Structure 1
Amino acid sequence: VITEVMIGPEPATPKEGEFTARDLRTRLEAFRDKLKQAAGNNEVLIASIDQTFSFPDEKEAGDTGPKTSWESKNFYHVPLAAGVTILSKLQGDIRNMENETVNHLLGSVEQKSFKFNTLTPIVKPLSSYVTVGGKYQADIFMGAYDNQNPPEVYICGPGATIDTLKKEIVGEAIKLPMDGAMAKLEQGAARAGLNTVRGIIKFKPVGGEAETRIFETVYEVAQPNLVVSPSKMNVFYRGVDNPVTISVSGFSDKDIQPSVSNGSLSKGGEGWVVRPGKDRECIVTATVTNPDGSKKTMQGNPFRVKNVPNPTPYFAGKSVDDETIKKAELTASQGVIAKMVDFEFDLRFEVVEFKVTMIVSGTPIEKYTKGPALSGEMKEMFQKAKPGQKVYIEGIKAKGPDGTIRSLGSLSFKVV
């Protein structure tokens, strides 16, 4: 039966097809090649595989004819019991070599494995600061370490770098103190902004070779600020640069994008500059970027919008509160100026016109001029002034930084 199924009538040319001896040999050779591929560089295992799955064509002793194929030698005119024994031996060979190859693969994996005896949960948040309406996000996983075999942890000192090829610190390496198998890092927050810590971890597993890993972490130092909001003085003035500082607790400046209604907003100095428009209110708001990249618009702060108040006119250093002027002060004066008194902004108003009136021999004499300076006729009139006479400076107008013309009223003095 075995001869008919596996070889056929001609032993010199065994038949081919499924379940034949030729098919069995082809499958065994393919299996042998896969085992050798899995064995990698293990020469001992490869030699054992080749020896187990060797299918040579051989001659009988003293035979001068052609070689007998492995198929015919094992399955031509072989009793059924002997054929079953041969197949059982092949099954055993397959199982044995399969086990040896699997053991080799497991051994290769074990060479790169690490033995740990302690597990601890680790929570790694994207950010520990979350605003209302935002999301708290974190990676939660199980960490493992050997509490009997702690690693060594080093960080880069000032000016030091890491050679990523050699996995070593070039320059000053600072060894961190250990608490069991965990290193303790403590650094002073000397300056605001982003700070980067780079270092290496050295670990030598029991019975294995030392391993080195590079790590890097970034943290941000924020400048502590006291925020005071004057609820009755939240005012922007038209026509001038209104400096503001815009911040959102828990977010760095790079993650804050401010905006303003009824006006323009631009960078200026160490903060922002608002120039309001014509409406009576501005609302300053900001959109922040969360650690996960999502955006959130914060509630805005309203500001009233007002025109810059009128300046106070001065003549010879005297204002509306003064009633008298000396003849020497009158003749030495060069003109009229406009000054902002007790105002938050250093603004300049330019006087564009005014007139001077004096009563001479009962007749009012008026002189009008453009600009802030006295005209020649005005100076000549002042030279003739006598004690007791009244000098009126009227119709004073000044141009502000916003381009508007303001009427500043009048001044009057008695010459003494």
Structure 2
Amino acid sequence: MAGGGKLSARQKMINLMYLVFIAMMAMNMSKEVLSAFGLMEAKFSDANVVTTDMNEKLLANLETKAEEKPAEFALAANKAKEISIASESFYKYIETLKNDLLSKGKYQIDPETGKLPFEAMDKTDILDEAWFTGDRLTKKGQEVMSKIEDYKSTIKGIIGDDVKYSKAVENFEKRFSTEQEKNKDGKKIDWLDYHFKGFPAIASYTKLTAMQNDVKVTEANMFNVFLGNTLDEAVSLKNYTAIVIADKSAFFAGEQFQGKVVLGKYANVTPTGLSVGGSAVDLENAIDSTGAARLDFNVGSVGEHEIDGKFTFLEDGKPLDIPIKGNYVVVPRPNSATISADKMNVVYRGVVNPMTISFAGVPDNKVSASGAGLKKGSGMGKYTMVPTSGREVTINVTATLDDGSKVSDKAVFRIKDIPKPSGQIAGQIGTAKLPRNNVEIGRIEAVLEDFDFDLPLTVTGFKMKVEGKPSVTCSGNRLNGAAKSALRSAKRGSQVQIFDIKSRSNGPAIKPASPLIIELTN
């Protein structure tokens, strides 16, 4: 428009013309929009009349069927009557809201056209003052929301958990959703605020009529479901999916796949009960957003296991049990790597060699192993081997798979003799420095160094040689009188040899131990 300073008469006239022009455009646009809302309201009103008539016929049809086939339709007819009563009550409540809007706005139907003055119904403060106070709802606004929620809970309570009506209930929930809405700035606004605050009276009036239409549509949909008129949609093959069901959930490489392909549907329907293996499952935590039930249990030992349970749904007012059958295969958890050194498969002759033998993915009771000197021990996969003759032993392993077929494998082990022990005195091996008295009273031992088996050795005899003296033969593991006499004659710093140390075990024969060289420290 104009900047600061004094305006000329001509400029003032131009500015005034601009204002009048803009106001006229706004008035014309407003009238067009208001008229459009009015036309929409009229269409909803006509639709409500038609739907009401249709619903009355559907309800009468249901009542007739209930008399003819009470087992099939009596329960549905009763539900339909209850829905009709609840819907009529809510419909009339919405009508009171519409009447209040007309009364407070002082709007009246034109006696000549039979229509409301759409273009004059531009007030925005009627419902704003009645339903809202600042950012909160008035008592009347709270009442409106309460009535909507009461209607929703009443309809869902009448329908119940019957699986056949789940889709109808889902559509009903969407139709009467009162979730918050996002405005043009992306901010979430309460449902009543978003749909009615700040709107012209004719817009709010039309929305209330549309809500009445939703009530009539709800009745029509429910009655049709009760009559089975949605059956074609339910059984159409377009709604089915090919589902592969394997005979078991794990197969071995090279094994023949066995299973079947069926047509089925994934139903997002909450069951009333679920049990697996005789134990009830908590539905609140088990059912996900797709309607699938998630199972969580200990899989048990290695091998094939069955899943046995049931789904329970409510259909036609009665519990409907759907069995759950399946199986799965448990294979050993990989908790260690298999690491082997070439040519290091060794067992020792004459001792008990512990062994663990298993077949990946096969339970212990279906695995058998054989070999010279091999015996089954206690514990899963535990064996012992005591090889005797020869230089090698072969262990053969056979496993029986779930389909009855057998697989085999083998491993060859070298047989080695017990290694030569070492002589020991006072915990010292090979060479030692000891006082003369410690040698005299000490005990001669034979030990198997770096040998992983527990094989105690008992010294049965040895020979002792002092410098300048003949050797002395001793029995057992201590010095005899002759050996002690020879030891006393030895000089300080001289060496005493303990050799030809003989020992025995509780099993195999033992080679003579390596000698001891003892330096006397006194």
* Both structures adopt the same fold (TM-score exceeding 0.5): yes
Q: Indicate the residue corresponding to 1:138 in structure 2.
A: 258
Separation in 2, partners of 1:212, 1:384: 100
- Aligned counterpart, 1:309: 419
Percent of aligned pairs sharing the same letter = 24
Structure 1 position 386 matched with structure 2 position 491: yes
CA deviation profile, 1:12-65 (whole Å, cap 9, x unmatched): xxxxxxxxxxxxxxxxxxxxxxxxxxxxxxxxxxxxxxxxxxxxxxxxxxxxxx
Cα distance change, pair 337–326 in 1 and its aligned pair in 2 (3 A): same
Determine the C-alpha separation between the residues in 2 that align with 1:313 and 1:173: 70
Pick the aligned partner of 2:390 from 279, 293, 301.
Answer: 279
Structure 1 position 388, deviation (Å): 4.2
RMSD (Å) for aligned C-alpha atoms? 3.3
Instruction: Report which structure shows greater RCO (CA 8 Å, sep ≥6).
Output: 2
Cα deviation for residue 415 of structure 1 reads 2.4
**SS at 2:357's partner residue?**
coil
Matched residues in 1 for 2:505 and 2:446: separation? Answer: 10
Choose which of 252, 256, 267 in structure 1 pairs with 2:363.
252
From 363, 370, 375, the equivalent of 2:475 is 370
Report the equivalent of 2:274. Answer: 154
Per-residue deviation, 1:404:
0.6
Q: Distance in 2 between matches of 1:188 and 1:148?
A: 23
- Deviation digits for residues 142-191 of structure 1 (CA, Å, limit 9, x no counterpart): 243474767566235xxxx73xxxxxx5x66446325656x343437687
Letter in 2 for 1:122: V
2:502 counterpart SS class: strand
**Residue 306 and residue 116 in structure 1: after superposition, are their counterparts in 2 closer, same or farther (change >3 A)?**
farther
Q: 1:191 to 1:146 in 2, by over 3 A?
A: closer
> Does the Cα contact within 8 Å between 1:352 and 1:397 map onto a contact in 2?
yes
Aligned to 1:342: 450
TM-score, normalised by the number of residues in structure 1: 0.57
The answer to whether the Cα contact below 8 Å between 1:240 and 1:401 also exists between their aligned partners in 2 is no
CA contact 2:421–2:512 (8 Å) conserved in 1: no
1:121 aligns with: 243
Q: Pick one of 340, 353, 357 that aligns with 1:242.
A: 353
**Residue 395 of structure 1 aligns with which residue?**
500
Q: Distance in 2 between matches of 1:403 and 1:146?
A: 69
Look up the match of 2:217: none
Helix, strand or coil at the partner of 2:511: strand
Q: CA deviation at 1:223?
A: 2.5
How far off its partner does 1:123 sit? 2.8
Q: Which residue of 2 aligns with 1:415?
A: 520
Aligned residues: 280
Task: Classify the secondary structure of the residue corresponding to 1:210.
Answer: strand
TM-score (norm 2): 0.47
Q: What amino acid is the match of 1:396?
A: I
2:446–2:501 contact (8 Å) kept in structure 1:
no
Distance in 1 separating the partners of 2:290 and 2:494: 97
Q: CA deviation at 1:221?
A: 5.8
Partner of 1:122, secondary structure, is strand
Partners of 1:320 and 1:294 in 2: CA distance: 58
Provide the C-alpha distance between the structure 2 equivalents of 1:148 and 1:409, rounded to a whole number of angstroms.
81
Cα distance change of structure 1 residues 222 and 267 upon mapping to structure 2, 3 Å threshold:
same
Report the AA paired with residue 439 of structure 2. L
CA contact (8 A) 1:189 1:221 kept: no
Q: Provide the C-alpha distance between the structure 1 equivalents of 2:471 and 2:246, rounded to a whole number of angstroms.
A: 83
Instruction: Write the distance in 2 (CA, Å) between the matches of 1:197 and 1:123.
Output: 14
Gaps of 5+ in 1: 1-114, 163-168
Q: Deviations over 1:297-356 (max 9, x none)?
A: 1x212222111211111123332244x4432332331x2101122222232222122122
Structure with the higher strand share, 1 or 2: 1
Conserved? CA contact 1:255–1:288, under 8 Å? yes
Q: Is the 8 A contact 1:238 1:307 kept in 2?
A: yes
Higher helix share: 2
Q: What are the within-5 Å matches in structure 2 for residues 31-46 of structure 1?
A: none
Q: Is the 8 A contact 2:331 2:360 kept in 1?
A: no
Deviation sequence 1:364-399 (CA, Å, 0-9, x none): 343323322332443344344331444222221122
Partner of 2:107: none
In the alignment, structure 2 segments of 5+ residues that lack a partner are 1-233
4+ residue segments displaced more than 6 Å: none
Question: Could you report, residue by residue, the CA deviation over 1:87-141 in whole angstroms, capped at 9, with x for unpaired residues?
Answer: xxxxxxxxxxxxxxxxxxxxxxxxxxxx855353333234523144xx3241314
- 1:222-272 CA-partner distances (Å, limit 9, x unpaired): 322322222242211112222222222222323322233x33132145632
CA gap of 1:116–1:277, structure 2 versus 1, over 3 A, is farther
Distance 1:241 1:221, change over 3 A: same
Checking the alignment, whether the CA contact within 8 Å between 2:245 and 2:259 is kept in structure 1 is yes
